Chains A and B, each alone.
Chain A
Amino acid sequence: MNSVSDRKHDALDTAGSEGDADASVIDLLRRFHYGEPAAAAHTTLPANAVLPALLNAYRDASAIRYQYPLYLIPPDGTTMSALARPAGEYLSDALEALAPDADDARILKDNLPWIERYLRQTLDDSDPVDALELLSTAAAAMQKQLDLDAASREKLDANLERLKDTLAEGGQFLGYGPRVSLHLMLHAIRHRHCQSREQLRQQIDKNIHGLQSLLDVEKAKSADANEPGSVKTSVGSGSRHFDAGALSGMLEHRAHGSVEMPAERRLRIERALKELQAWQDFPVLVRFVGQLQDPSFRKLPELALINSDDPCTTAAEVFARDAADFAKLFAALRVAALDIDGNYSPAIHDSWFASFDWQAFSNEEMQLVTRVVALVSADYLACDGLPSFSRLLGSRLPVHVMSWVRAYDNPAAKPGEDPFDSYRFELANFGIGHRQVVVAQTSAARHEDLLSGFLCALDSNRASLHLINRGTQTKTKKPLLDAWFVASAALESRAHPFILVNPDGGDHAAQRISFAGNPQADNDWPVEKLEYRSAAGEVTEMDLAFTFADYALLMPALHEHFRMVPTGFESTDLHPIDQYLKLDEELIDHAVPFIWAIDEQDVLVRLVVSRALVFACRDRLNYWRSLQELAGVQNFYVEEAIDRIIEEQRAAIEAEREQLLQEHEEQLESVRSEAAGEAMGQLVDVLMGADLSGMVAGGSQLATMPAAAPAQTEAPADEAAAEAEPEVEEEAEEELSFDEAWLDTAMCTTCDDCMGINKMMFAYNDDKQAIIKDVKAGPYADLVAAAEICPAKCIHPGKPLDPNEPGLDDLIARAAPFN
Chain B
Amino acid sequence: MFGLKGDWSLEVKDRYFTLEDYCGAEPRWCTGCGDHGILAAVHRVCRESQIAPEKTVAVSGIGCSSRLPHYMNTYGFHGLHGRALPVACGVKSRRPDLDVWVATGDGDCFSIGAGHWIHALRYNMDITLLVFDNGIYGLTKKQTSPTTPMNVPTNTHPSGALLPPLNPLTVTLGVTNISFVAQIVDWNAPLRHEVIKKAHEHKGTSFVRIIQRCPVYVEAIGKALQDEPARMQLLTHEKGVQVDDNVKRMFPNQAEHDPSDLAAARALAEDSTVLPLGILYHNPDAPRYDMMSSVGLEMGVDEKLAGMNKALDNFAI
Q: Which residues of the partner chain B approach A752 to less than 8 Å between Cβ atoms?
A: 31-32, 36
Residue of A nearest to B9 (CB): A2
A439 and B245 CA atoms in complex are apart in Å by 55
Q: Are B187 and A791 in contact (CB under 8 A)?
A: yes
**Cross-chain contact of B18 among A152, A748, A756 (Cβ < 8 A):** A152
Q: Are A750 and B4 in contact (CB under 8 A)?
A: no
Listed stretches A59-67, A194-202, A557-565; interface member: A59-67
Contact with A along B1-43 (1 / 0, CB 8 A): 1111111111111111011100000000001111011011001
Q: A110-B16, A747-B188, A748-B189 are in contact. Are A528 and B1 (CB under 8 A)?
A: yes
Confirm or deny: A526 has a beta carbon within 8 angstroms of a beta carbon on chain B. yes
Q: Which residues of the partner chain A approach B44 to less than 8 Å between Cβ atoms?
A: 767-768
Q: A751-B31, A752-B31 are in contact. Are A1 and B6 (CB under 8 A)?
A: yes
Confirm or deny: B246 has a beta carbon within 8 angstroms of a beta carbon on chain A. yes
Closest CB-CB distance, A759 to chain B, in whole Å?
A: 13
Closest CB-CB distance, A304 to chain B, in whole Å?
A: 34
**Cross-chain contact of B19 among A114, A492, A767 (Cβ < 8 A):** A767
A4 and B43 CA atoms in complex are apart in Å by 34
Closest CB-CB distance, B54 to chain A, in whole Å?
A: 15
A793 and B226 CA atoms in complex are apart in Å by 9
Confirm or deny: A275 has a beta carbon within 8 angstroms of a beta carbon on chain B. no
A373 and B96 CA atoms in complex are apart in Å by 63
Q: Which of A72-124 contact B (CB under 8 A)?
A: 107, 110-111, 113-114, 116-117
A64 and B10 CA atoms in complex are apart in Å by 5
Q: Are A791 and B222 in contact (CB under 8 A)?
A: yes
Q: Are A146 and B10 in contact (CB under 8 A)?
A: no
Q: A751-B31, A752-B31, A768-B40 are in contact. Are A1 and B9 (CB under 8 A)?
A: yes
Q: A446-B3, A528-B1 are in contact. Are A751 and B32 (CB under 8 A)?
A: yes
Closest CB-CB distance, A293 to chain B, in whole Å?
A: 31
Q: Are A746 and B12 in contact (CB under 8 A)?
A: no
Residue of B nearest to A112 (CB): B12
Q: A111-B16, A488-B3 are in contact. Are A749 and B36 (CB under 8 A)?
A: yes
Q: A489-B2, A751-B32 are in contact. Are A152 and B20 (CB under 8 A)?
A: yes
Q: Are A750 and B1 in contact (CB under 8 A)?
A: no
Residue count of chain A within 8 Å CB distance of chain B: 51
Q: Which residues of the partner chain A approach B246 to less than 8 Å between Cβ atoms?
A: 746
Q: Which residues of the partner chain B approach A152 to less than 8 Å between Cβ atoms?
A: 18, 20
Confirm or deny: A3 has a beta carbon within 8 angstroms of a beta carbon on chain B. yes
Residue of B nearest to A146 (CB): B16
Confirm or deny: B190 has a beta carbon within 8 angstroms of a beta carbon on chain A. yes
Q: Which residues of the partner chain B approach A110 to less than 8 Å between Cβ atoms?
A: 16, 50
Closest CB-CB distance, A493 to chain B, in whole Å?
A: 11
Q: Are B9 and A63 in contact (CB under 8 A)?
A: yes
Q: Which residues of the partner chain B approach A111 to less than 8 Å between Cβ atoms?
A: 16
A447 and B285 CA atoms in complex are apart in Å by 45
A488 and B4 CA atoms in complex are apart in Å by 10
Q: Are A107 and B8 in contact (CB under 8 A)?
A: no
Q: Are A65 and B40 in contact (CB under 8 A)?
A: no
Confirm or deny: B133 has a beta carbon within 8 angstroms of a beta carbon on chain A. no
Q: Are B39 and A750 in contact (CB under 8 A)?
A: yes
Q: A152-B20, A751-B36 are in contact. Are A116 and B10 (CB under 8 A)?
A: yes
Contact with A along B188-227 (1 / 0, CB 8 A): 1110100000000000000000000101000000100010
Residue of A nearest to B4 (CB): A66
Q: Which of B38-71 contact A (CB under 8 A)?
A: 39-40, 43-44, 50
Residue of A nearest to B186 (CB): A749
Q: Which residues of the partner chain A approach B1 to less than 8 Å between Cβ atoms?
A: 4, 54, 492, 519, 526, 528
A111 and B17 CA atoms in complex are apart in Å by 11
Q: Which residues of the partner chain B approach A769 to less than 8 Å between Cβ atoms?
A: 40, 189
Q: Are A750 and B10 in contact (CB under 8 A)?
A: no
Confirm or deny: A818 has a beta carbon within 8 angstroms of a beta carbon on chain B. no
Residue of B nearest to A67 (CB): B3
A491 and B1 CA atoms in complex are apart in Å by 11
A792 and B250 CA atoms in complex are apart in Å by 11
| Most central of B12, B36, B43, B190 by chain A CB within 10 Å | B12
Q: Which of A432-487 contact B (CB under 8 A)?
A: 445-446, 485
A515 and B191 CA atoms in complex are apart in Å by 50
A747 and B249 CA atoms in complex are apart in Å by 12
Residue of A nearest to B43 (CB): A768
Closest CB-CB distance, B219 to chain A, in whole Å?
A: 10
A148 and B189 CA atoms in complex are apart in Å by 28
Q: Are A113 and B16 in contact (CB under 8 A)?
A: no
Q: A748-B189, A791-B226 are in contact. Are A149 and B18 (CB under 8 A)?
A: yes
Q: Which residues of the partner chain A approach B20 to less than 8 Å between Cβ atoms?
A: 149, 151-152
A753 and B36 CA atoms in complex are apart in Å by 11
Q: Are A747 and B189 in contact (CB under 8 A)?
A: yes
Q: Are B2 and A58 in contact (CB under 8 A)?
A: yes
A54 and B4 CA atoms in complex are apart in Å by 13
Q: A113-B12, A753-B31 are in contact. Are A65 and B7 (CB under 8 A)?
A: yes
Q: Which residues of the partner chain B approach A801 to less than 8 Å between Cβ atoms?
A: none
Contact with A along B232-264 (1 / 0, CB 8 A): 000000000000101100100000000000000
Q: Which residues of the partner chain A approach B3 to less than 8 Å between Cβ atoms?
A: 66-67, 445-446, 488, 491, 519
**Cross-chain contact of B187 among A149, A528, A792 (Cβ < 8 A):** A792
A793 and B37 CA atoms in complex are apart in Å by 14
Q: Are B2 and A485 in contact (CB under 8 A)?
A: yes
Q: Which residues of the partner chain A approach B12 to less than 8 Å between Cβ atoms?
A: 63, 113-114, 117
Q: Which residues of the partner chain A approach B10 to less than 8 Å between Cβ atoms?
A: 63-65, 113, 116-117
Closest CB-CB distance, A118 to chain B, in whole Å?
A: 9
Closest CB-CB distance, A643 to chain B, in whole Å?
A: 33
Confirm or deny: A789 has a beta carbon within 8 angstroms of a beta carbon on chain B. yes
Q: Which of A24-62 contact B (CB under 8 A)?
A: 54, 58
Q: Which residues of the partner chain A approach B192 to less than 8 Å between Cβ atoms?
A: 749
Q: Are B16 and A107 in contact (CB under 8 A)?
A: yes
Q: A489-B2, A769-B40, A791-B226 are in contact. Are A749 and B189 (CB under 8 A)?
A: yes
Closest CB-CB distance, B59 to chain A, in whole Å?
A: 22
A789 and B223 CA atoms in complex are apart in Å by 11
A489 and B11 CA atoms in complex are apart in Å by 24
Closest CB-CB distance, A160 to chain B, in whole Å?
A: 14
Q: Are A3 and B190 in contact (CB under 8 A)?
A: no
Q: Which residues of the partner chain A approach B2 to less than 8 Å between Cβ atoms?
A: 58, 66, 485, 488-489, 492
Q: A65-B7, A485-B2, A528-B1 are in contact. Are A750 and B226 (CB under 8 A)?
A: no
Confirm or deny: A766 has a beta carbon within 8 angstroms of a beta carbon on chain B. yes
Q: Which residues of the partner chain B approach A746 to less than 8 Å between Cβ atoms?
A: 189-190, 244, 246-247
Contact with B along A772-806 (1 / 0, CB 8 A): 00000000000000000101110000000000000
Q: Are A64 and B19 in contact (CB under 8 A)?
A: no
| Most central of A66, A67, A749, A789 by chain B CB within 10 Å | A749
Q: Which of B151-199 contact A (CB under 8 A)?
A: 186-190, 192
Q: Which residues of the partner chain B approach A519 to less than 8 Å between Cβ atoms?
A: 1, 3
Confirm or deny: A145 has a beta carbon within 8 angstroms of a beta carbon on chain B. yes
Q: Are A65 and B36 in contact (CB under 8 A)?
A: no
Q: Are B40 and A148 in contact (CB under 8 A)?
A: no
Closest CB-CB distance, A346 to chain B, in whole Å?
A: 61
Residue of B nearest to A58 (CB): B2
A4 and B246 CA atoms in complex are apart in Å by 39
Closest CB-CB distance, B104 to chain A, in whole Å?
A: 20
Closest CB-CB distance, B3 to chain A, in whole Å?
A: 6
Q: Which residues of the partner chain B approach A4 to less than 8 Å between Cβ atoms?
A: 1
Residue of A nearest to B191 (CB): A747
Q: Which residues of the partner chain B approach A526 to less than 8 Å between Cβ atoms?
A: 1
A3 and B7 CA atoms in complex are apart in Å by 8
Contact with B along A488-522 (1 / 0, CB 8 A): 11011000000000000000000000000001000
3 A-B pairs with the lowest CB-CB distances in the bound complex, closest first: A749-B37, A2-B9, A750-B40
Q: Can you sample 8 A-B contacts with CB below 8 Å?
A: A107-B18, A526-B1, A746-B246, A749-B36, A753-B31, A768-B44, A791-B222, A791-B226
Other than the known A1-B6, A488-B2, what 4 A-B pairs have Cβ atoms closer than 8 Å? A748-B189, A752-B32, A791-B215, A792-B187
Residues of chain B touching chain A, judged by Cβ–Cβ distance below 8 Å, are 1-16, 18-20, 31-34, 36-37, 39-40, 43-44, 50, 186-190, 192, 213, 215, 222, 226, 244, 246-247, 250
